[in-house]
Amino acid sequence: MITIIGAGRVGASAAVFLALRNLDDIMLIDIVENLPQGHALDMGHALSILGIDAKIEGSNDFSAMKGSDLVIVTAGFPRKPGMTREELVAKNAGIVADIAEKIKKYAPDSIVMMTTNPLDAMAYLMYKRLGFPRERVIGFSGVLDSGRLRYYAAKVLGVSYSSIVPIVIGQHGQKMFPVPRLSTVGGTPLTEILSKEEIDKIVKETIEAGATVTRLRGFSSNYAPGAGLAIMAEAVKKDLKKVFLASVYLNGEYGIKDVTVSVPVVIGKNGIERIIELPLTDEEKKGFLASVEAIKANVAQIPKEFFE
């Protein structure tokens, strides 16, 4: 069973994309009375219309996640217009710490995917609170950020989205680090077929994409995160051993320890099965390390009691 904790826009979107793939039964949990049940009923009607025999239920009781082998955490306060992900640290740390205890109690053998912002700091907190092996705590961020880079690059090049292999590492935030030299189309680096002005524009649009969506419609992204969570969940449930960009606790990789940051990883039935170290230039390493420092600054903002 797949449990989604948080029936807000991201959680509901993830539930829809997952149900369309019919990977497993889905349990949608939220503390707001009747909200997950209402979502589940509406989605069930939609699945009936589409002829998809997927089972989806809603509950306000965390014990409903018992038996889940995958738990997706989307709960938390969302970004509002003009608000940075970093401003959410104190608000969401308490929520994440409480959910970690519920997961340990009811789904102790699960793989956990995090989306709560600021993502890397909250994934770090979840990892520390759970005490699970690092392979079983996955921060969702790189799939979203790289997907946005793919979107903007494909628009400029006039090719299909699937033709672009994008690389965005580091923080899920203003200090994210797109790597155009390692992002390719047909095996050719973007830096070899686009001008510096075009590259700079694509990078800027990628970094500002989340804020742009929030400014335009008054609330943050949900469809894109929902889609990304679904393909990552599919990699776990089907043991695809597929490469994604995701936030993982590093223990020496890239010369970094004790930080959760987005890098290329292989995801399969055991969660993160391998961490891939990119061949970064000295200049790229500086940019990546600056992004890592931004994550550490976010982590330092988490009140110490939430680690206890």
Q: 138 φ, ψ to 5°?
A: -120, 125
Residues contacting 208, CB < 8 A, separation 6+: none
- Nearest residue to 113 via CA among 32, 14, 9: 14
What is the rounded CA–CA span in Å between residue 32 and residue 206?
33
Burial class (CB in 10 A: 0-12, 13-18, 19+), 151: middle
Query: Catalytic: 45?
Result: no
Catalytic residue among 172, 175, 181, 237: 172
Give the residue numbers marked as catalytic.
172
